[in-house]
Amino acid sequence: MKFGPLQLLMALVLAIAAGCLGAFAASEWREPAKAQTLHAYVQEEFDLDAEQQARLDALHADFAVERKQMELALRAANSRLAAAMDEEKEYGPKVAMAIDEVHASMGDLQKATVRHVFAMRALLHADQQRLFDRRVAASLTSEPDE
């Protein structure tokens, strides 16, 4: 049997479509690796007593609200940066000022996160603190997952 240009083109299109579908399915079915949060680490790795657990839950709830507010402020600062870039179309004074605002918002969020980490540490016993400190140091100095 002889194949003409139309049949070869159809076979190529079907092969490409099948490959794309296979790649999509593989990415959807593969379970992504999730980084364990520090809060989850403390919950899962330490045998917290009832008082520690209650304090940890309260810290986590309070920080969730504070973090959300700061993330919204950062998003607003990024929006103002986008507007300044659109208006000036170059690195001008409005863009520079908007970048400083973004950096200030990012810094505020990082400072609040570090305060939260120390608050979590404070509710742990000395032996738990040593393990916690190692985990924090490792998370700050390790290479990001690729």
Which residue range(s) make up the domain with 6?
Answer: 1-32
pLDDT tens digits along 64-94: 999 999 999 999 999 999 999 999 999 999 9
As a dihedral over the C-alpha atoms of residue 41, residue 46, residue 51, residue 54, rounded to 10 degrees, the angle is 20
- Are residues 107 and 69 part of one domain? yes
Give the C-alpha distances (Å, rounded to integers) separating 25 from 29, 31, 35, 123, 146.
6, 12, 23, 45, 21
Outline where 89-125 has alpha helix (H).
Answer: 93-122
Statement to judge: residues 60 and 9 lie in one domain: no
**123 is a domain residue:** yes
Per residue in 16-71, pLDDT (tens digit) is 766 656 666 555 555 444 556 888 888 888 889 999 999 999 999 999 999 999 99
Backbone dihedral region of 53: left (phi > 0), alpha (psi from -120 to 50 degrees) or beta?
alpha
Confidence of residue 141 (pLDDT cuts 50, 70, 90): confident
